[in-house]
Structure 1
Amino acid sequence: MNSFLLFLFKSTLSLSLLYLAFSVLMRKDTFFRLSRLVLLLMVISSVLIPFIPAPQLSQPFVQVKLEPIFQNTTIIEEPIQTNAAPTSIQLSAPASNTNRAISISPKTILLFVYFCGLFISILILLYSITTILLLFQKARKMDQNGLHLRIVSEDTPAFSFGRYILISQFDYDIHSEAIITHEQSHIRLGHFYDLMLMELTKIIFWFNPLVYRMVSDLKEIHEFQADNYTLNQGIDATQYQLLIIQKCVGHQKFALANSFNHC
Structure 2
Amino acid sequence: MDRFLIYLLESSLILVGFYLLYHLVLRPETFFSLNRFYLITILLVSLIFPLLSFDFGTDELPAVKAPILEVSQARKAYYDAFELWSFDHLSGNVVSEVTSVSIWSGINWWQLSQQVFVVIYLIGVVVCLSRTFWTFRWVFGLIRQYPLQKMDDLTLVKVAYPIAPFSFLKFVFVHEVMIGSTEFDQILAHERTHVHQRHSIDLIIVQLLAAFLWFNPVIWQLIKSLKTTHEYIADNKIMNAGYSLVEYQSLLLRQLISNNSYGLVHNFNLSFIKKRITMMKNQKSGWSGKVKVALAIASTIVFSVLIVQCNSTMDETSIIENESSVASIEAKGVNLPILPDVPFYSYLPSEDAVEITIVEDKITLDDEDVQVVDMALSVAEKITEQGIIILSVDAQQPMKLVRDVQTELRRANRRKVLYLGQTTTGKIMESAMLLPPLPGAPNEHGVKLPEIDAAYIAKHDLHILRVEMGEDRGVTVQQEVYDFVTSEVAEERSNYVVQAKFQDEDSYKSYLQNLAYIQEGFNQIYQERTQSMFGKNFMDLNKEVPEEKEQYNAVRKGIPRAISISEK
State the TM-score, normalizing by the size of structure 2. Answer: 0.38
Question: Aligned partners of 1:238, 1:52: CA distance in 2, in Å?
Answer: 50
What residue is the counterpart of 2:12 in the other structure?
12
Please tell me whether residue 142 in structure 1 is matched to residue 130 in structure 2. Answer: no
- Report if the CA contact (8 A) 2:163-2:257 is conserved: no
Please tell me whether residue 260 in structure 1 is matched to residue 265 in structure 2. Answer: no
Give the partner amino acid of 1:51.
L
Which sections of structure 2, spanning at least 5 residues, go unmatched?
55-67, 71-96, 272-568
> After superposition, where does 1:67-216 map in structure 2 within 5 Å?
101-103=106-108, 105=111, 106-174=113-181, 175-216=183-224
What residue is the counterpart of 1:70 in the other structure?
none
Q: 1:93 to 1:245 in 2, by over 3 A?
A: closer
What residue is the counterpart of 1:67 in the other structure?
none
Give the partner amino acid of 1:21.
L
Give the partner amino acid of 1:111.
V
Question: Aligned partners of 1:99, 1:208: CA distance in 2, in Å?
Answer: 33
Q: 1:44 to 1:93 in 2, by over 3 A?
A: closer
Question: Aligned partners of 1:100, 1:191: CA distance in 2, in Å?
Answer: 55
What residue is the counterpart of 2:253 in the other structure?
245
Higher relative contact order (CA 8 A, sep 6+): 1
Greater CA deviation, 154-163 or 227-236? 227-236
Which SS does the other structure have where 1:29 is aligned? coil
1:170-216 alpha-carbon deviations (Å, 9 max, x no partner): 22232321111110100111111111121023211111111111111
Runs of 4+ in 1 over 3 A off after TM superposition: 52-57, 92-104
Which SS does the other structure have where 1:252 is aligned? coil
Give the partner amino acid of 1:262.
L
CA apart distance, 1:167: 0.9
1:81-117 alpha-carbon deviations (Å, 9 max, x no partner): xxxxxxxxxxx89979999745462211110111111
Question: Aligned partners of 1:115, 1:2: CA distance in 2, in Å?
Answer: 15
What residue is the counterpart of 1:68 in the other structure?
none
Question: Aligned partners of 1:257, 1:98: CA distance in 2, in Å?
Answer: 53
Give the partner amino acid of 2:260.
Q
Which SS does the other structure have where 1:173 is aligned? coil
Question: Aligned partners of 1:244, 1:99: CA distance in 2, in Å?
Answer: 62
CA apart distance, 1:121: 1.1
Which SS does the other structure have where 2:134 is aligned? helix
Which of the pair has more CA radius of gyration?
2
- Report if the CA contact (8 A) 2:129-2:208 is conserved: no
Equivalent residues, number:
231
Q: 1:42 to 1:96 in 2, by over 3 A?
A: closer
CA apart distance, 1:253: 1.0
Question: Aligned partners of 1:16, 1:141: CA distance in 2, in Å?
Answer: 43
> After superposition, where does 1:23-102 map in structure 2 within 5 Å?
23-53=23-53, 101-102=106-107
1:16-52 alpha-carbon deviations (Å, 9 max, x no partner): 1111111111111111111111111111111122123
Identity %: 24
Which SS does the other structure have where 2:163 is aligned? coil
Q: 1:173 to 1:153 in 2, by over 3 A?
A: farther
Q: 1:93 to 1:26 in 2, by over 3 A?
A: closer
Q: 1:93 to 1:195 in 2, by over 3 A?
A: closer
Give the partner amino acid of 2:215.
F
Which SS does the other structure have where 2:150 is aligned? strand
Q: 1:177 to 1:99 in 2, by over 3 A?
A: closer
Which SS does the other structure have where 1:49 is aligned? helix
- Report if the CA contact (8 A) 2:194-2:200 is conserved: yes
Greater CA deviation, 94-103 or 25-34? 94-103
Question: Aligned partners of 1:136, 1:34: CA distance in 2, in Å?
Answer: 32
- Report if the CA contact (8 A) 1:162-1:187 is conserved: yes
Greater CA deviation, 154-163 or 231-240? 231-240
- Report if the CA contact (8 A) 2:261-2:270 is conserved: no
Which SS does the other structure have where 1:248 is aligned? coil
State the TM-score, normalizing by the size of structure 1. Answer: 0.79
